[in-house]
Amino acid sequence: MKIRTRCRTLGPMLLLISWVLFAATPSLTAADETNATPIDYEAGFYYTVKEGDTLWDLSQRFSDTPWQWPDLWRENKQLPNPHWIYPGERIRLFRKTEQHRVSEPPSKEIPMAAPQAEASTPSKEAQPVIEFLYSNIDQVGFIRKPAVQPLGTIIKCVGDKRLISKGDIVYLRYNDSSSAEAFAPGTRMTVYRTLQPTDDPKSITTIGTQHLLVGLIELTKNEADFAVAKVMKSYRAILLEDLVMAYDSKKPYMPVVDSTQGIDGQIIAGENHSKLLGDYFIAFIDKGIQDNILPGQIYNIYKQEKATVAALKGGVVDLERIYCGSVFVLHTEQTTSTVVINHNIQKITPGERFQTP
């Protein structure tokens, strides 16, 4: 193992990486209306190896001590030899289990640079790029106002099946005559249904309509009054009268970016209306594009401790904000965003608050 000493500056964004859990499969605490079964997927934070990197150095950079390199190796079983890692390989970063509270943001002061041959020569060492992997990104729904205008509707499945799944052949009715042009053979479309979240702590009518993505189809034929398609993927059971919209392919790796300062918002609901939200559950928050929320940002979930003081007018005093988890932003709309719970150390429920780290 080659040992090298470097001076690196890590921003608040990178300090959050140590709170992440990996490769978890959520089990629903409250079944949604289709009785969905849990879906296996991979999720977590990754770093792409650069020339000259070693596990010793990466442990120093992301775990504050080089001596945790064996733990880093154990988290990356794809590496047969810890002494040989190669540029382009992705290294999964692991969570330090002893960290449970919000850290104060590091000083924004720029540290003194090491002497260089020429004062004008910039440092060649760039800030490390961390990416978040969410392999099921195409399954992530959203809340939008107004709702998406569907291109068509599933009206029948070959064999008269009522619960439609991968490999089935379905017939679709066009939403209107102009929609027929979008149904060219070979075109892929997302199957979805609209829901009214029942566990929303605020009135969903003031926010938008939940769009639950349930599958992916590929068109095989289009006629004057209907189209035929094959179900390529079923994220949940697909039903008759489910809707279709244009398919928007997304990359599963998303770079981690700085969070917007001064954000303080609320978790609206879980995607499957679960009463409890655990690691890698999907949820919706009440901040979006108009609040400068971006995919790739991380926000801390907190509980506000209070105390009743009879001598004071009003009787209630806000105490400490207790960190209980964090969310990673996957998708944004104008006034809402879709997030994944990437860490929790306390019970998280719809209605919890979140803030800028």
Is 111 inside any structural domain? no
* Same domain assignment for residues 147 and 241: yes
Which long-range contacts link 94-100 to residues 24+ away (Cβ below 8 Å)? 94/20, 94/22, 95/18, 95/19, 95/20, 95/21, 95/22, 95/343, 96/18, 96/19, 96/63, 99/18, 99/19, 100/323, 100/345
Is 299 inside any structural domain? yes
* Same domain assignment for residues 333 and 311: yes
| Count of all residues that appear for the chain in the document | 357
Is 325 inside any structural domain? yes
* Same domain assignment for residues 229 and 262: no
Q: What percent of the chain has pLDDT above 70?
A: 75
CB 202 within 8 A of CB 212: no
Q: For the residues 53-57, what does the mean pLDDT come to?
A: 88
Whether the per-residue pLDDT at 193 is higher than 90: the answer is yes
Confidence of residue 150 (pLDDT cuts 50, 70, 90): very high
Whether the per-residue pLDDT at 246 is higher than 60: the answer is yes
User: Which of these three, 198, 227, 246, is where a domain ends?
Assistant: 246
* Same domain assignment for residues 177 and 213: yes
The 10s digit of each residue's pLDDT in 305-354 is 888 776 666 677 878 889 999 999 999 999 999 999 998 888 899 999 99
User: Which of these three, 198, 218, 246, is where a domain ends?
Assistant: 246
* Same domain assignment for residues 239 and 155: yes
pLDDT value for 196: 73
pTM of the predicted model as reported, rounded to 2 decimal places: 0.76
* Same domain assignment for residues 147 and 185: yes
| 124 or 12: which leads in pLDDT | 124
Q: 285: domain range? A: 257-355
Cβ partners under 8 Å of residue 80, min gap 6: none
* Same domain assignment for residues 262 and 210: no
For the chain, what is the domain count? 2
* Same domain assignment for residues 265 and 349: yes
* Same domain assignment for residues 278 and 188: no
Q: Which two tokens stand for residue 167?
A: 């490999």
pLDDT value for 201: 52
* Same domain assignment for residues 194 and 272: no
Highest mean pLDDT among 174-183, 195-204, 268-277: 268-277
Instruction: Write phi, then psi, for 207 (nearest 5 degrees).
Output: -115, -50
* Same domain assignment for residues 161 and 220: yes
Is 182 inside any structural domain? yes
CA angle, residues 20, 22, 26, in degrees to nearest 5:
105
Is 206 inside any structural domain? yes
* Same domain assignment for residues 238 and 338: no
324: domain CATH number is 2.40.10
The 10s digit of each residue's pLDDT in 91-115 is 888 754 333 333 333 434 434 333 3
Whether the per-residue pLDDT at 43 is higher than 90: the answer is no
188: domain CATH number is 2.40.33
User: Which of these three, 246, 278, 308, is where a domain ends?
Assistant: 246
